[in-house]
Chain A
Amino acid sequence: MRLGRVFDDRTRRAVTSEVYRRSRDVRGGVFRVLLQIALLVALLVLAILLVDTVTDGWSILSGRLGDFLSGGLRSQSGDPELGVFQGIRGSLWIAVFVIVLAFPLGIGAAIYLEEYAPKSRLTSFIDLNIRNLAGVPSVVYGLLGLAIFVRGLEGLTGGQSVTAAGITLAVLVLPIVIITSSEAIRAVPQSLREAGYGAGATKWEVIRTQILPYAAPGILTGTLLSLSRAIGEAAPLILVGAVTGFLGGQSGLVDISQLQERFTALPIIITEWVQESGRDRGFAPAAAAAIVVMLVVVLLLNSAAIFLRNHFEKKR
């Protein structure tokens, strides 16, 4: 009897202490800390990168931002007219080409694949093809642009022109637009389609009045991301023949006649100045300032896209 109670107490104590014991899971703790370190490294790098770039370029950004935005490519870093205007102009035109060519084509292809395509061999081939295109290195798109748009279609594009570059980058982001738009369209509830058909609408009428409006935020997110990708992309432009040295002609921002002329773009200017900084240290701050100008545009586009997506995801 007495012995039994002692035993009971012991058991109870043991169980209680096991249950209420703060677990000392050393392995788990170490693992968790390691994971946090991994994430912190990524965030820290981002912070260092941003801070380093802004401090490098601060002398220009705070001193002569206006001149820097309106100036051109120069061979001396001390030149007071050194600036990124031609790069902004080139990048702007590239963005126009991406919007005009890649967006309608990409969204159209996504609509076909999600709404019209039968389950056929052709469909799965197109599908596989698009996923593979998304993985092709950007420099290979540059070769495509050089062979087809610069040399093959010289009469149409004017050779190493902003037209050729714009078409090349539109082709580059096409698979991204298709994939993101497809995902957005796939997320549209089936019931919406059925309701539309039930009311007597044809396929295209359902797409236009129900599916596209519903999928619009998702599609917009994808297009914004691809636009920022196109603006930041440099490798294809080098191959297509962007100007790195001196570029004449300080014409306006939207002058149609320059579409077939030689061109440059923001990422190209950055590349050039970073490489020149080995010869002339003064180009390093200029490159940093140009990066800040580009990052402002790119990050604005990106955060708009991310915000849009999060906003509408929450709503549904």
Chain B
Amino acid sequence: MTDIALRFGGRRNPPVAVAHLREIPVSAMVVLSGLVLLLVSAFLPWAVNVGSGQTANAFEPNLPWLLGGTDLAQQTAGSFGNGWILIAVVVVSVAAGYPLFCGRRMVAVPLASIGGAGAVYVYFTSYRFDNQFSKIEGLVVELGSGWWLALAGSLLMVTGGVIARVGAGNRRAAVATTGPVTLEALSGNQDRRDRESAVRTIMLVAALASILVSALIVLALVRDALTFMINIDWASVWSSGWFPRRGFYDIKTLVVSTGLVVGVSTLIATPVGLGAAIYLSEYARPRTRRWMKPTLEVLAGIPSVVFGFFALQWISPNIIQHIDVWFGQDARLGNLAAAGVGVGILSVPLMASISEDAMKAVPHSLREASAGLGSRKVTTTLRVVLPAAVSGLMAAFIVTTARAVGETMVVFIAGGGGDTAVYTHNVFDGSLTMTAAMASLASGTDSVVGEGLTFESLYFVGLLLFVLTLGMNLVADRIVRRFQNKY
């Protein structure tokens, strides 16, 4: 028998320092991390002070745990924020999390609690420095944030454990590989098994993070939107304009101008995007494709602020303000039509790439059968490929529309809306879409202020937008699933 168990069992000779580290008992670890915590909390404020140059006289180490921190608080007040706590938590967690993946899971949970509690305590003391509050007040006020830190501490413990574990070799030597095959030899290496389950857990946590994000989005939106919906006088939600700071939250103003912008953008994005997709998928030679596709991808990569600038500075004066006379209108520089064209251009690559994928998924045998029956290329494309890909094209259309509904910066910059908007259904007027209304509510001042429910109205519009785009994306997703199964 060869040493298969050793081959994949990690480094054959772990660095001596690491090998010794692993022999340190857990209790010593706890003491060590406590010491580290103490040292960090003592010296970090001083180090930060030296950097900021604010309190050059505070050269002596500050030992808040031992001295109570009362007089030193004067010297360090306001000079260090809460950032250093994070660093403390990291250090503690890495040190304390070390034994976690050395097969000593029974000590992991208590250690995580210690790390978390340490984080809370550090947080609480630093808060006192910052705000000169008494112990009790500080604790009461900031316990909420402290628990967040405790959570972060436990998470970081896991990270620390991984870092430690990856660097370490195997605690137990691989089973002797000469002699008879024993049950022990077949059961493999305990360290490898531990590592497997640990890695798996970590990956699962990473995957679950996305669910946490969704949950937080819904939570954030629903909480304040509910406040809005409960307390609002619904007459003001169906009035004649969007004047959030004066208590008029007319949703139909926002929805109608969103519809106008999306309409214009669809008029641009659908023909151009679909045409480009058909050409690339059915007509273009491989060499043409090779440089056309990256060019479209460059267009896709341009940030939306740039399209906002372009819509306001080029599209509006050079196109919209020329064609407005055809409709008997006189457009200002910022108007919904220009924003719509900007959003349309921005959506072209998205439309093109999803449609092209849909057409690429149509099997070649269909095209060959059609050609074999004597149809021309145009007939094959229009009568065979497009109908076969129709569900994918529908999905492309819906996704593009959802993207246009959610597009913010182009409309915010070029839509011609200020902080407020009067109801309009004229595409050459300036107005606010849902997204632009949110952006203008949040910009300008340091925080969203205004009459009564102004702040909550932000979340109400956000929730509306979220539900709308989510619905569209779910429908598109359903369609795509169906069409994937078809071929």
Contact = CB atoms under 8 A, between A and B. Distances in A.
Nearest to B470: A132
A153 B148 CA distance: 8
B209 A43 contact: no
B308 A271 contact: yes
Contact of A117 (B207, B302, B381, B470): B207
Give the size category of B's interface with A. Answer: 35 or more
Interface in A250-282: 256-257, 259-260, 267, 270-271, 274-275, 277-278
A235 B439 contact: yes
A35 interface: yes
Contact of B302 (A32, A113, A298): A298
Interface string A109-130: 1011101110000000110111
A225 interface: yes
B303 A234 contact: yes
A144 B276 CA distance: 36
A270 B378 CA distance: 45
Contacts of A35: 275-276, 278-279, 283
Contact of A143 (B86, B221, B399): B221
B37 interface: no
Contact of A241 (B81, B86, B447): B447
A137 B276 CA distance: 25
Interface string B175-210: 000000000000000001001100110111111111
A219 interface: no
Given A42-B299, A43-B295, A148 B220 contact: yes
B301 interface: yes
B62 interface: no
A46 B304 contact: no
Interface residues of A, number: 108
Nearest to B440: A238
B142 to A, nearest CB: 6
Contacts of A139: 406, 408, 435, 438-439, 462, 465
B224 interface: yes
Contacts, number: 325
Contact of A306 (B83, B294, B378): B294
A242 to B, nearest CB: 8
Given A35-B283, A234-B409, A137 B296 contact: no
Given A42-B276, A126-B211, A133-B214, A202 B81 contact: no
Interface stretch (B21-29, B104-112, B309-317, B420-428): B309-317
B207 A278 contact: no
B228 to A, nearest CB: 13
A116 B217 contact: no
Nearest to B448: A146
A236 B308 CA distance: 16
B211 A112 contact: no
A105 interface: yes
A28 interface: yes
B209 A105 contact: yes
B145 interface: yes
Nearest to B48: A257
B477 A132 contact: yes
Contact of A233 (B82, B292, B303): B303
A146 B442 CA distance: 10
Contact of A147 (B48, B220, B444): B220
B217 A202 contact: no
B429 interface: no
A153 B146 CA distance: 10
B51 interface: yes
A149 to B, nearest CB: 9
A86 interface: no
Contacts of A205: 8, 192
A138 B406 contact: yes
A95 interface: no
A141 B211 CA distance: 14
A105 B4 contact: no
Contacts of A199: 7-8
Interface stretch (A66-74, A77-85, A283-291): A283-291
Nearest to A40: B276
Contact of A116 (B204, B272, B377, B412): B204
Interface string B277-294: 011100100000010101
A136 B470 contact: yes
A174 B442 contact: no
Interface of B: 4-5, 7-8, 48, 51-52, 81-83, 86, 123, 127, 142, 145, 148-149, 152, 192, 195-196, 199-200, 202-211, 213-214, 216-217, 219-221, 223-224, 271-276, 278-280, 283, 290, 292, 294-299, 301-310, 312-314, 333-334, 345, 348-349, 352, 376-378, 381-382, 399, 402-403, 405-409, 412-413, 435, 438-439, 442-444, 446-447, 458-459, 462, 465-466, 469-470, 472-474, 477
11 contacts: A31-B382, A46-B299, A116-B200, A143-B220, A147-B221, A156-B149, A178-B210, A200-B7, A232-B306, A238-B439, A302-B301
Instruction: List the 3 closest pairs (A to B, CB-CB), nearest first.
Output: A137-B406, A38-B275, A232-B303
Given A112-B207, A143-B438, A294-B303, 4 more contacts: A25-B376, A174-B210, A257-B51, A274-B308
